[in-house]
Structure 1
Amino acid sequence: MTSITDLSSSVRFTSAMENSHNNLLKQYGEILDTSTELCQSHRQFVKSALDTCLKKCKDDEMLFETIQAFKKDVEQKTVSLKQKQRDISEVVSDIQQKEMQKDEIIQKIEKLKREQAKRKDLIVSQNKANKDRLKNLQKARIVFQDHLGMEIRTILGKTKLVKGEKLQFVFRNINPSNQDSAYIVTIGIKEDGAYQIVSSDPEIECLPALERRLQETNNLPAFLANVRKEFISQARC
């Protein structure tokens, strides 16, 4: 073993120590350089991450504002839609009411048409009945006025019961002792077209029965003939 007092050994030991120290310094320097690069890289990474976070925050704020604006717009549109739905409901209700009114008007029109048709038929029937009565009156006039000296007068009733135009049939040549003596029966026509006996002078007891017979048969000449017979029967009593 070499003695430590050996000069060459001391030199070699010192040289080894310096080399070791230099290597350590070199390694430490490399570590410092690496640490510095890592610090710089870390700073850049942190700065980049911070910038990214800030940008993300701004984007999120803009997105939030957009969402809020969209939400507000949706709420406004929802309110508007509800109002439009109410308006539509009112319009639909109004249309339904008008349709109901239209149906009612159509039904009233149809009813009026039916009533008008009935009135028309009634008028036609009454006109026909009046024509038949006119023929009967003409026949009666020929039979009684021309052959039996009967006079026909037109009078206007003044009371509610005999209001309107009436016909008076004046019979003569009834009483043998007084041929000019007048025997009178007054006839009117009801609203339904039926004959109505207003009065007779002198009064005939069976006149209501003769009136019913007249309304059943509508034969005026036969009625006047029966009235004349009753007057003759009374004159001879």
Structure 2
Amino acid sequence: MDADYYSSAIALLENAAAEFKRSVDKQIVAFENEQKLHEETIRSIDEKIAALQQREKELLEKKSLKDIDVSDKKKEADKITEEINSLKRRERELEEEKEKRQFEFEEKRRRIASQTDELSKERVEGDDSKELTNGLLFYSQRLQMFLNKGSSSFLHLAIDLEGIRITFRCIDRNHPKRRFYVVLKINDEEKWELLRTKPCLENESALMKRLNESNDVNSFLRNVRKSFKAQYCNDV
């Protein structure tokens, strides 16, 4: 293979890396903003619950006095009881809303934490990965996509006689360590060529046609990942 073709392939992947990094940065900022909003919402709910509880306490004290004061009409005591019950119902609703919001937020937090933990575990020592740019490294870690050369290292761009092998992980939620990969090369006609995928993809031809028309590696990698997930995972 002509070295220029491989250089071109590396440049395209690095550009894709930079674009993915920007995308991930936006997602992280959005999550941080959502976290602030979540905390404000929970604080507001807690304040409402505290106000309801204080009002209930005042009404219970008032009702107690009405029960003692037989000269007062029973209607007023019943009205107080009804208001107390209404406050208790509202308090339960707020508690349920708070619990639901906490659960949904913690689920999202766990998903992001899981990605962060995974990338920290999979860092590779040595000089092999130095050929990667910071953008490509960030991209690889964040998306749980590992570029490797045979089994010699865990995270680097494979440039050998066969082509470029791109391995994905954390696609199948039930089996996060399961690996999916594609092997690409640029042929003598300066076109992208898919040597193989594991497992096989039903839409290989369509994926490659789109890649060669657009030369958009970023979009290609996204679509490959989606295709693996749609075809082989039960959690879509």
Q: Tell me which interval the TM-score lies in, with the shorter structure as reference length.
A: 0.3 to 0.5
Length-normalised TM-score, structure 2: 0.40
Q: Which has the higher helix share?
A: 1
Length-normalised TM-score, structure 1: 0.40
Structure possessing the higher relative contact order (Cα contacts under 8 Å, 6 or more residues apart): 2
